[in-house]
Amino acid sequence: MSDSYVTVNFLDPVQDLLVRVEDQMQTLTSDHHPDLEVALQHLFSSGGKRIRPAVALLTGCMLGAKSEQLVKLAAAIELLHTATLVHDDLIDGASLRRGIATLNTQWSPAATVLTGDFIFARAAKMAAETDSVEVMRIFADTLAAIVNGELVQMFSSQGVAEREHYEKRIYAKTASMFELATTAAAYLSPVNDNLVNNSRLFGYQIGMAFQIVDDVLDFTGEQQTVGKPVASDLRQGLITLPVLFYLEEYPDDPDLCSIIDGKYYSDVIIDRVVTSIQMSGAIQRSLEEANRYVDRGAGYLEELPDCQERRALEELSAYIVGRNL
């Protein structure tokens, strides 16, 4: 199944709404200082897959939300995602000083902070335009979860090889935003608490799967990220699922142990560990784990109204584990 076929297929039911989401985001780029406009244009048109807005739109359409509020929500979610990426760039730039090039050197740190803050502010404004206190509340909760996760990662994730710690980290980093997309869309719909909860659980499961696949792609090196080396997390001492599974098989690998212990390790050692992990069964086991999350997600999805949007969400789930592999 080709990538473009899948993409077109599951986005079909919300194609018009996605165009309106883009329009909402584009309106934010005008009437500012030329340098800021260029930066915003660049950020908003950098070819992201808009997977989070699509999840929100499909969920909301499935549950009968009004399109106007839904478009605001979807735009708010993509803006929130973009804002965290902007600050992440700065943070990575600082924490990757151990020999790896920073991502963004043209824009000063101060301008980067403010650009991120600006997009946060616009995200909050867009979320407020849904006119829903529940949406605002979960929006604020999600921002808190994401930032808290980043702080934990900065202060205490290096060398932690624990499954529970990993799961908390990818929840904060990624699954929280998918959960926000489905839950907030449900809040905007005329449905009961049970359906809201099933929507939430569906979002959680596919979000966890999404990040696990990202972490696999970080090892298989097929990720189309500019400037990111293979195993960028491991190079920062961050232990992801493929590493955890590899450790179960080879708990005494001296190269990996030296990385986890935070001792001196060279690029040669990292590259050797990466090759070992690539050749091991850890990649396949990680993908199976992602599939289990998607399967659980499908279970929750079955409790929701059967319609073309639900089928699109099923396909989207399949796309999450199948992309770039």
Contact residues toward its own copies (CB under 8 A) are 32-33, 35-36, 87, 90-91, 93-95, 108-111, 113-118, 120-122, 124-125, 127-129, 131-133, 136-137, 139-141, 143-144, 146-148, 150-152, 154-156
User: Which residues, in sequence order, are CB contacts of 18 under 8 Å at separation 6+?
Assistant: 11, 50, 53, 54, 57, 74
User: Which residues, in sequence order, are CB contacts of 294 under 8 Å at separation 6+?
Assistant: 205, 206, 209, 317, 318, 320, 321
Report the nearest approach of its own copies to the CB of residue 136 (Å).
5
C-beta neighbour count of 293 within 10 angstroms = 23
Q: What does the buried/exposed string (b/e) look like for 65-75 if buried means 16 or more CB atoms within 10 Å of the residue's CB? A: beeebbbbbbb
Nearest residue (CB) to its own copies, 88 versus 314: 88
Report the nearest approach of its own copies to the CB of residue 53 (Å).
19
Q: Which of 56, 77, 78, 79 is nearest to 67 (CA)?
A: 56
Report the nearest approach of its own copies to the CB of residue 212 (Å).
24
Nearest residue (CB) to its own copies, 84 versus 205: 84
Give the span between the Cα atoms of 54 and 9, in whole angstroms: 12
Report the nearest approach of its own copies to the CB of residue 100 (Å).
14
Report the nearest approach of its own copies to the CB of residue 29 (Å).
13
Nearest residue (CB) to its own copies, 156 versus 308: 156
Report the nearest approach of its own copies to the CB of residue 122 (Å).
6
C-beta neighbour count of 34 within 10 angstroms = 7
Nearest residue (CB) to its own copies, 84 versus 182: 84
Contact 138, 180 (CB under 8 A): yes
Nearest residue (CB) to its own copies, 172 versus 181: 172
Report the nearest approach of its own copies to the CB of residue 156 (Å).
6
Nearest residue (CB) to its own copies, 110 versus 268: 110
Report the nearest approach of its own copies to the CB of residue 202 (Å).
24
Nearest residue (CB) to its own copies, 107 versus 300: 107
Tokens 């005329």 sit on residue:
190
Q: Which helix (H) or strand (E) holds 142?
A: helix 133-156
Q: Which of 14, 85, 20 is nearest to 55 (CA)?
A: 14
Q: Which of 273, 267, 241, 271 is nearest to 254 (CA)?
A: 273
Tokens 């997309």 sit on residue:
181
C-beta neighbour count of 212 within 10 angstroms = 29
Nearest residue (CB) to its own copies, 61 versus 184: 184
